[in-house]
Amino acid sequence: MRLEDFLLMRHEMLLTLMVVIVLIMEIFMDDRHKRCIRPWTIGLFAAVTIIGFLPAPTGTLFGGMFQTSGMHLMMKNILNIGALIVFIQAAQWLKLDSNHNKISEFYILILSTLIGMNFMISSGDFLMFYLGLELASIPIAALAAYDTFSNKSSEAGIKFIFSSALSSGIMLYGLSMIYGTTGSVYFDQVGSVYTGTPLQVLAFIFFFAGMAFKISMVPFHLWTADVYEGAPVNVTSYLSVVSKGAAVFIFSIILVTVFRVIAPLWQNVIWVISVLTMTIGNLFAIRQNNIKRFLAFSSISQAGFILLGVIGGSTLGMASVVYYVLVYIFSNLGAFGVVAAISTATGGKENISDYDGLYKTNPGLSWTLTLALFSLAGIPPVAGFFGKFFLFTAVAEQGYYALLTIAVLNTIVSLYYYLLVVKAMFINKSDHPIAYFKSDGFTKLGLAICIAGLVVIGFASPIFEFIKSLSFGL
């Protein structure tokens, strides 16, 4: 092994370097200048994101424990973009006096989870996968409990750490059975020995249950709404897009590499689970009044849609999953960006009824939220439509027409509740609408990136073609 081989881990090394730099800034800056950490971190991280797009070598490291290819790099870059937008949107909230002493904590914890996700995506064996998964989930519990003086925040933290610990325990039990029946933990070796004996199928079910917790598929979704509601808005937005995206990526990679042999079995499982996830997520979203809880259930149903791309295990399916996550990052972060801006400016107004008459006072924010919700619902001019379109194409290509019908029906239901929020902003009258307020430059920049992404990605077909050229399947 040569020293240059470490360049394969470029993303991870840069992120580790960032953690160290933020830590040093925290130690050596005096208290009055702590706020300068925000622009510096955002600037440095923007540089890291751009460096991530430069061409990079591909291959494996550490005897196959770490692997990287064009697709892996693409996934990591998408996660970097998501984290960058979260950083930009969080800047105004971090400026609040209550957060003044823990600005760097926010950045360090998020960067650590990002390192974990990158290792998880690039893992070539279950040991590295497990380590990455835990590194990606333990700091998020600390982030969910970030608001030390809020009951709800610590409640969200405890709910997250307990459900994630239980789910990884269940998953590990499955992994131990996989090890016992195949004698290896490396993806390629397990994949070549795995034949689908009853014990191995049981192991797969344990593994699936553990991953279902992370992606918040029904019936393992119950933690999602509580954690999303209790955690600070910016943490929620990170949790709902970047964390979920990373879990979906590695889930589809493992399904097509390790569990190739039992593909008909897991396709049936995903068929049922994705129908349940879409439908139950939609039905519960209708009756929510807290906007964060509403977006939590909407994100559960979006997870059901993402599973549509996973089900075929085809090249087109994986490409459409990656593309959909990219679009989903921009649309969901656009929605959460507006929610975060309003919550920060009004001191925690988070009910949908508070948004009545928002268009009269804050037209810019209203239009941004409308565009983001249209994209989540999949209405044509914005990128969300193309994301859904490719997912549906991937399903139709595999011949799952019943599933396709249910998915389209669910899209219509989801349109109803997304429009409820739009109606509240544009049509409903209110005696005390949220007063006009001016957002700072960071928030505006964050929302502008989201809008630009929503408009540009939909019309730039080379992006999908490029992702598809990197993709791989069963």
Tokens at 98, concatenated:
């209550």
Residue from 249, 292, 212, 224 nearest 79 by CA: 249
The interface with other proteins within residues 5-34 (CB under 8 A) comprises none
With vertex at residue 115, the alpha carbon angle to CA 36 and CA 210, rounded to the nearest 5 degrees, is 130
Q: Does 39 bind other proteins (CB under 8 A)?
A: no
> What's the Cα-to-Cα distance from 309 to each of 116, 229, 317, rounded to whole Å?
24, 28, 4
Q: Tell me, letter by letter, the H, E, C secondary structure of 394-422.
A: HHHHHCCHHHHHHHHHHHHHHHHHHHHHH
138 CA to centre of own chain = 16
Phi, psi of 337 (to 5 degrees): -60, -45
Report the residue from 19, 224, 229, 342 that binds other proteins according to the rule CB under 8 A.
229
Tokens at 177, concatenated:
């059975």
Least CB distance from residue 148 to other proteins, whole Å? 7
Closer by beta carbon to other proteins, 185 or else 407 = 185
Q: Does 141 bind other proteins (CB under 8 A)?
A: yes
Q: Does 61 bind other proteins (CB under 8 A)?
A: no
Q: Does 142 bind other proteins (CB under 8 A)?
A: yes
- The alpha-carbon radius of gyration of the chain (Å, integer) is 21
Phi, psi of 429 (to 5 degrees): -95, 150
Report the residue from 62, 173, 389, 472 that binds other proteins according to the rule CB under 8 A.
173
Q: Does 177 bind other proteins (CB under 8 A)?
A: yes
Closer by beta carbon to other proteins, 5 or else 155 = 155
Q: Does 466 bind other proteins (CB under 8 A)?
A: no
8-state DSSP, 214: H
Residue listed under structure tokens 């429009």: 419
Q: Does 263 bind other proteins (CB under 8 A)?
A: no
Closer by beta carbon to other proteins, 168 or else 471 = 168
Least CB distance from residue 69 to other proteins, whole Å? 24
Q: Does 105 bind other proteins (CB under 8 A)?
A: no
8-state DSSP, 123: B
Closer by beta carbon to other proteins, 61 or else 396 = 61
Closer by beta carbon to other proteins, 163 or else 370 = 163
Least CB distance from residue 8 to other proteins, whole Å? 22
With vertex at residue 29, the alpha carbon angle to CA 26 and CA 35, rounded to the nearest 5 degrees, is 80
Closer by beta carbon to other proteins, 16 or else 184 = 184
Least CB distance from residue 190 to other proteins, whole Å? 11
Among the candidate windows 73-81, 82-90, 172-180, 379-387, which touches other proteins by CB under 8 A?
A: 172-180
Q: Does 283 bind other proteins (CB under 8 A)?
A: no
Residue type for position 3? L
Least CB distance from residue 254 to other proteins, whole Å? 16
Residue listed under structure tokens 């009756």: 287
Among the candidate windows 43-51, 154-162, 303-311, 425-433, which touches other proteins by CB under 8 A?
A: 154-162
Distance CA 152, CA 232 (A): 9
Closer by beta carbon to other proteins, 161 or else 321 = 161
The interface with other proteins within residues 107-126 (CB under 8 A) comprises 126
Long-range contacts of 40-45 (CB under 8 A, 24+ apart): 41/87, 41/107, 42/84, 42/87, 42/88, 42/91, 42/442, 44/18, 45/18, 45/80, 45/83, 45/84, 45/87, 45/111
Site residues for other proteins per CB under 8 A: 126-127, 130-131, 134, 138-139, 141-142, 145, 148, 151-152, 154-159, 161-162, 165-166, 169-170, 172-173, 175-177, 179-180, 183-185, 225-226, 229-230
